[in-house]
Structure 1
Amino acid sequence: MESSRLFFIIMFLYTIVLSISSINCTEKNNNLVTNQAALFVFGDSLFDAGNLKYINSTSGFQSNFFPYGQTTFKFPTGRVSDGRLITDFIAENAWLPLIPPNLLPSNSHSQFTYGANFAFGGAGALVETLPGMEVYKMGGRKFGFLNMGAYECAPGISILDTTNIGSCSKPVAELIYLYNKKFPGALRRLQRELPGFRYALHDYHTSLLERINNPSKYGFKEGKMGCCGSGLLRGINTCGNQMRHSYELCENVTDYLFFDASHLTEKAHQQFAELMWSGPPNVTGPYNLKALFELN
């Protein structure tokens, strides 16, 4: 629309995109035009607020079961965690309501006053799904990114080597290292080539690995075992009994970094959201998200 100017902040993790836009809105009563921030989210299960439950999908990929959602919402919302996600806390920091899944039946598709969540659990990095330059062409200028997290040490990965249970996977770590090494250079190149391009890059790998190796330093008791699941380190993803298998559930979820075999707890999400929102340049830079919101 001519009357709507969009300025996007995009955050990427694997196939994840989070967009924060500034939209001119007209109030019905007095025709006053106000500048309304909006948050748009694209990606996989790290950011999925419940879209997956509205499509036909293998139940093993879904989280429409207790104990998902037990902490804040007291019922499963489709978020793959015990509570809120990183994007939920970012929305709160930006004084926005929680951004609903785009496929929520009551969600309006015609107007996105506060944004929309398009993330899907299990989303793949496929050539045909890459956004290309579309967001930039629509006015996107402010972008936020996460590098690849230290998932080589997640419970579901660290049980694969039966001779060394609890150890991080070297093959996975090598692939993540290669990606993270190249990523900053690609962003700097985009900044040189695209007029107005500004970005925040959070070092998610270091932040997550720090908490895995030193959980007590960040208020956790357990950094390598999941709160919910089965098997060694609760690294088998049976949480919620979605595959008709039994599972174990920890007594105190706030003691844990990981909620299930590969997804984090609400407590962890809040910490990462704060680092992305207001972290120093060596953690989130060259801008953090707060600075991008304030940038004209």
Structure 2
Amino acid sequence: MVSVQNRRIVFSFLLLIIVVFSSYKADSECDFKAIYNFGDSNSDTGGFWAAFPAQSGPWGMTYFKKPVGRASDGRLIIDFLAESLGMPFLSPYLQSIGSDFRQGANFATLASTVLLPNTSLFVTGVSPFSLAIQLNQMKHFKVKADELNRAGGLHILPPSNVFGKSLYTFYIGQNDFTSNLASTGVDRVKQYLPQVIGQIAGTIKEIHGIGGRTFLVLNLAPVGCYPAILTGYTHNVSDLDQFGCLISVNKAVKYYNALLKKTLSETRTELKNTTIIYLDTHKVLLDLFQHPKSYGMKHGTKACCGYGGRPYNFDQKLFCGNTKVIGNSTVTAKACRDPHNYVSWDGIHATEAANHRISMAILDGSISDPPFTLNNLCRS
């Protein structure tokens, strides 16, 4: 029979284990303390609309129930990643009111490019906030945060030791690919894609130089399946594959992604003690476009929000949410009532449902090269 003294010893030992385990779990909840994102409209959480306020409905209708500066009906991939790491949605760097940068900042803006937009490679309609500008914003942000922390700090800024414990994400390059696609053709676009990839690798190196150690780079989506490209790029029926996507365009995308993967591998070798992950989000999104019903959806290459009906519900003259006189009628590009059944939100961007599918693949590590499972590092 166990004595009272022994029972007390056992109880105290168990209590100690519980306390230690609880303390360990709290301290190890997430290896990353912040996220810093660079990108275009696919990951812009309000930067462009903070700079140029104008957004109206039906943007944000699914999750936020109102426009919140996102090019979707709901959450973006970066939103899902932040949630999975137990962090709030990233505040746009350009948003002066209501921002909280303690756990990161978002430098992405709608229509941003990797290469500078004032070169002859680009037509008008792209953002002035190219990747080089976003990098400068990041550097300035870090310098000012360090200065203010030494002076006593602000409650909305991260501590100086956060930058080396942060996740740096890149979802950019789509506008470099598509901005001149219709006017110059696939072959001309392919010529400057190595410059685009070189700039992304160079940006990673610069951030590494100021303390960044973990990088996630999302590859290019199968834009040959986008309603906007299918209606804006001159083609014949023979140019389409069995799923209705443009063969030549998606071949060029595969070329870009293969080169991006190779370049990131070389950069990984060059930068010691650094984690650089290539995320094959293209694989998930392509499967969604090709087999939407396998994911409980109904429509692949048809936009939820648009004008024009079958087969794409997209008109280059009338974008989602806008009203215009076409012919003798005043028409509006309206949203569908069931965006969860669509891969494409507005012909250019993904729905929240599609973004959620891609995010799950990122979290479980199934599209990471080399293998990298966020679920093992942070609570979901």
User: Residue deviations 1:95-121, cap 9 Å, x none?
Assistant: 00111212222245xx83111111100
Instruction: Give the letter for the 2:38 counterpart.
Output: F
Query: 2:244 aligned with 1:167, yes or no?
Result: yes
Match of 2:36 in 1: 40
> Distance in 2 between the 1:66 and 1:148 partners?
27
Query: 2:322 aligned with 1:241, yes or no?
Result: yes
1:149 pairs with 199, 211, 221, which one? 221
> Distance in 2 between the 1:39 and 1:83 partners?
20
What displacement does 1:74 show? 0.8
Q: More deviation in 136-145 or 123-132?
A: 123-132
> Distance in 1 between the 2:115 and 2:349 partners?
22
Higher strand share: 1
Match of 1:19 in 2: none
- Does the CA-based 8 Å contact 1:147-1:183 persist in structure 2? yes
Task: List alignment gaps of at least 5 residues for structure 1.
Answer: 1-33
Match of 1:253 in 2: 339
- Does the CA-based 8 Å contact 1:143-1:200 persist in structure 2? yes
> Distance in 1 between the 2:323 and 2:66 partners?
15
Instruction: Give the letter for the 1:177 counterpart.
Output: K
User: Which runs of structure 1 show a deviation greater than 6 angstroms over 4 or more consecutive aligned residues?
Assistant: none
Larger radius of gyration: 2
Instruction: Give the letter for the 1:98 counterpart.
Output: F
- Does the CA-based 8 Å contact 2:321-2:335 persist in structure 1? no
- Does the CA-based 8 Å contact 2:73-2:345 persist in structure 1? yes
> Distance in 2 between the 1:35 and 1:213 partners?
36
Equivalenced residues, count: 252
2:111 pairs with 104, 108, 122, which one? 122
> Distance in 2 between the 1:44 and 1:118 partners?
9
1:72 pairs with 58, 63, 79, which one? 63
Match of 2:301 in 1: 224
> Distance in 2 between the 1:180 and 1:242 partners?
37
State how 1:48-63 maps to structure 2 within 5 Å: 48-56=44-52
Q: Secondary structure at the match of 1:240?
A: coil
Q: TM-score, normalised by structure 1?
A: 0.77
1:267 pairs with 353, 367, 372, which one? 353
Q: Secondary structure at the match of 1:211?
A: helix
> Distance in 2 between the 1:202 and 1:191 partners?
14
1:140 pairs with 212, 218, 222, which one? 212
Over 3 Å counting, the alpha-carbon distance change for 1:36 and 1:142 in structure 2 is closer
Report % sequence identity. Answer: 31
Task: List alignment gaps of at least 5 residues for structure 2.
Answer: 1-29, 117-129, 136-201, 326-330
Q: TM-score, normalised by structure 2?
A: 0.61
Instruction: Give the letter for the 2:374 counterpart.
Output: K
Q: More deviation in 38-47 or 193-202?
A: 193-202
Match of 1:290 in 2: 374
2:86 pairs with 77, 80, 95, which one? 95
What displacement does 1:289 show? 4.9
What displacement does 1:186 show? 1.0
- Does the CA-based 8 Å contact 2:74-2:351 persist in structure 1? yes
Match of 2:274 in 1: 197
> Distance in 2 between the 1:260 and 1:120 partners?
17
Q: More deviation in 143-152 or 242-251?
A: 242-251
What displacement does 1:175 show? 2.1
User: Residue deviations 1:115-135, cap 9 Å, x none?
Assistant: 111110000121574453321
User: Residue deviations 1:143-189, cap 9 Å, x none?
Assistant: 11111111111111122446438832233223212111212211111
Q: More deviation in 68-77 or 271-280?
A: 271-280
- Does the CA-based 8 Å contact 1:47-1:86 persist in structure 2? yes
- Does the CA-based 8 Å contact 2:223-2:229 persist in structure 1? yes
Higher helix share: 2
- Does the CA-based 8 Å contact 1:65-1:242 persist in structure 2? no
- Does the CA-based 8 Å contact 2:284-2:357 persist in structure 1? no
RMSD (Å), alpha carbons: 2.5
> Distance in 2 between the 1:178 and 1:68 partners?
33
Q: More deviation in 177-186 or 205-214?
A: 177-186
Over 3 Å counting, the alpha-carbon distance change for 1:179 and 1:86 in structure 2 is same
What displacement does 1:75 show? 0.6
> Distance in 2 between the 1:47 and 1:271 partners?
15
Q: Secondary structure at the match of 1:234?
A: coil
- Does the CA-based 8 Å contact 2:38-2:131 persist in structure 1? no
What displacement does 1:202 show? 1.6
